[in-house]
Structure formats: C-alpha cells, structure tokens
Amino acid sequence: MKAPDTPASRLDISGATVFLLCPRAELTRERLGYVRAFARRGVALKFLDDAPGAAHDLAALGDAGIRPDLILHPDPGMAVLPAGLERSPFPTACFQIDSFVAWRRRARWAQLYDRAFVFHASDVARYRAAGHPSVVGLFHAAEADDYQPPDTARDLEVAMVGRTGSDGPYLRRLACMSALEGHVRANEWRRPHRTDEAAALYARAKIVLNVGRDDWPTDVGVRYGEAMIAGALFATALPTELTDMGFVEGRDFAGFHGPEDVTRVCRRYLDDDEARVRVARTGQAGVIAEHTYDRRVATIMEGLDARTAPARGWPRARVALTRLDYLSARGLIREALTELPAIAARPGPALPRALALLGRAAGRRLWTRVGARTASAVKMGARRHSER
C-alpha cells in the first residue's frame, strides 16, 4: 500500500548524478534505501564498479568520463578513501551512520568532506564542535512503500528485533523483554532476525519495542521509522533521541523507563485500542512528512555549491595524517604507510602520532591473527579428541 504523498518529497532533483564511493555489492540496509530513493527521484547513480580506480584516486573519475554533481561516501563496510578528496572539483559528502565506536575519529575523518551527514541527533553538535562547519542531521529514515494503516488487524501484541545476548551491551533490552513475558503475545525475540523480516513482522504487531544499547541508551536506529510506517505503535526506552527529531511522547510514540514499567506502558495501549491507533497514526504521519528516504535524498541534494571541507585549507601533512588515521584504523596498513613521507616532510608532533597509530594497527592485526590461530588450534584439538 502506498503512503500518502507530501510536498516535502517533491523537490525536483531529476537529472543529477551522484557517485557513490562503494561498489554495488555494498548496498545493504540504509544504503539500499537511499539508492532506491535516488532512483525514484530520477538521480543517476554511479559506483566504484563504473570507475574502479576511483577507490584509490578521484582522478579516475575523469578517465571514466564521470562528472558527478556529488561524490558521496555512504559509510560502507569496506574501507575506501581515495586520494584527492580535499581538492575535489566536485562537492563531496559522507554518511556517519554508526557512532557507537570511535566517534571522535569519525569526526576527524569527516573533515575531509564538504558535508557530513550524521544519523544521530547528538552527533550534530559533537561533529560541529570537532571542527566541521557543515554537519547535517540526516537521521535514520523509513521506506514509504512499507506503509500500512495502524488500524489493520494485527496478531502480535509486541514485536522486538535485535540482539539480546547477556554477553554484550544489551542487558537492559533483555531485562525489558523478559519482564514482558507472560503478559503479552510477542514474537520469538530471542532468535536472530534477517533484515528483510522486520517490515513484515512490524506490520503484524500492535506495538514495536525499542531499547537502545546499554552504552547508547537514546538510540532508536532504523527501527522507529520501519515500525511507524508499518502502522505499529512505537514504544521506546526514555530518554530518546526521538524528541530531538521533533517527535513527542504520548502524541507520536510511547515511552517507558525500563523493566520496571515496560509492562504497564504496553498493557495501557494494548487495552485501549483507540489510544494505540491514534498515537500510531500521528507518529506515522510524522515519518511520512519528514523521515522517508525520499525526503532524505532531497536534503542530501540541497546546498551542493558549498565547498566547506576543513581539509581543503589544511597543509598536506595534516591531510596525510588524517588519511593515515582512517586507513590504519580500517586495517589498511600498507596503504597507510604511503602517507608517511608527506607527514615526515613537516617537522612537528605529526610523525610520532602517525607512528603510534601504525603501531596500534599492527598490534591489532597481530592480536587478531594470534586469536584466529588459537581458535583454530582449539577447534582442531576438540575434533581430534572426539575422534578418539
């Protein structure tokens, strides 16, 4: 079922070209949602498959005959940082999707790009304070094609998708779901779910529950948009970044504080179907108006004339150190080493810093190899023992 259209999604960006710094194989989760939205809006997309050399040097775009309106690094799983970003003749931008780990380093890396699109409300101020003048809150978005009316028949009372292991930062989530057991009809929340299962599951649920990581408790991720578009009432632990995005507790979503009140809050809306549908419908309308992928790509394509990457004004040594920081953090030690001559050419603390970064990266690689060999040896020993 198609979601109602809104003026916010009608900006004409057809005919533009966006070059994504990733191959097509890296189009998963959020990235796939953006690619679909770009295509719907008539934006031509190019990838590293179309200019493989651009993974190492942006000069390869000219060789491939590609002159994009925007070069976008979509935060793919693979590491990619082509030379020439800080002097690109085309506007550049990057996604910063996951800030759970090393946000300070991510904020430094983002300064190689003209604009930084951050997916969490708290990151806007943090990235600006770190020195980037063009930080835009893009936030997680929803696929409008998954729209379902909130008042459709639903056979699940509560649905939850996400990790709940006791050996990670999900103890509060586990406690909340455990508190609900015996009080609501829920999905098999303990088992892993594929990404493509979520939309169908949320369309069956009256309430979709969210509890952020213990070390990032305000997070709502893509779950909020998927749930609201699917017509479910979104219930999340408080405090929540939804309020920074303009949503209001009790009007657009339900809030609870933890395992001590999650059952009471859920039962309140499950026992009052009119109130559940009303809040779910209001939240859904807010997502459709402001938080779809189509609305997000319009935001991305605004302000393309800006050339605001701090790195455009940096000396070569500082650019090289930032590149070395990224490459070493992603395990590309050989590539990181190529930045050393530019760093060493300028006296100062940059060279010791670079050597320290390389040393840590080499240590991580060694530790990973030792761990892998140890695990293999243990597995082999267990196999031999079982064969006796």
* Averaged confidence pLDDT in the chain: 90
Q: Cα–Cα distances in Å, from 17 out to 46, 306, 325?
A: 7, 17, 30
Q: Which CATH architecture has domain 144-288?
A: 3-Layer(aba) Sandwich (3.40)
- CA dist 205 → 2, 152, 192, 264 (Å): 19, 10, 17, 18
C-alpha–C-alpha distance, residues 270 and 315, integer Å:
60
> Residue 182 contacts by C-beta under 8 Å, 6 or more apart in sequence?
none
How are beta strands 254-256 and 92-96 bridged, if at all? unpaired
Question: What pLDDT was estimated at residue 371?
Answer: 54
In the predicted structure, residue 336 carries a pLDDT above the cut 90: yes
Which tops the pLDDT comparison, 270 or 193?
A: 270
pTM for this entry: 0.87
DSSP per-residue letters across 213-227: BTTBTT--TTHHHHH
Same fold, 7-141+295-311 and 144-288: yes
What is the mean pLDDT of the segment spanning 191-207? 89
Residue-level pLDDT at 6: 52
Average pLDDT over residues 304-310: 90
Structure tokens at 265: 């809050």
Residue 279 pLDDT level (bands cut at 50, 70, 90): very high
Residue 165 gets which letter from DSSP? -
- Note the pLDDT tens digit of each residue in 23-34: 999 888 889 999
At 145, list the tokens: 């094609």
Segment among 45-54, 71-80, 131-140, 365-374 with least mean pLDDT:
365-374
pLDDT in tens, 284-300: 999 999 999 999 999 99
Q: Please state, in angstroms and rounded to a whole number, the distance separating the CA atoms of residues 16 and 69.
A: 6
Which residues in 61-97 are b (16+ Cβ under 10 Å) and which e? Answer: beeeebebbbbbbbbbeeebbbbbbbebebbbbbbbb
Distance between CA atoms of residues 103 and 71, nearest Å: 22
pLDDT at 64: 94
Q: How many CB atoms lie within 10 A of CB 107?
A: 22
Q: Domains of the chain: which residue ranges?
A: 7-141+295-311, 144-288, 316-387
Amino acid at 140: H
pLDDT of the residue at 232: 98
| 7-141+295-311: in CATH 1.10.260 | no
The pair phi, psi for residue 360, each rounded to 5°, is -65, -40
Given pLDDT bands bounded at 50, 70 and 90, which one contains residue 8?
very low
d(CA 127, CA 24): 28
d(CA 212, CA 99): 13
pLDDT band of residue 167 (cuts 50, 70, 90) is confident
- CA gap 318, 342 in Å, rounded: 9
Q: Which residue, 327, 231, 295, is CA-closest to 5?
A: 295
Residue linked to tokens 């009790």: 250
Is residue 370 over pLDDT 60?
Answer: no
| Cβ partners under 8 Å of residue 97, min gap 6 | 30, 75, 119
- Residue 5's pLDDT is what? 57
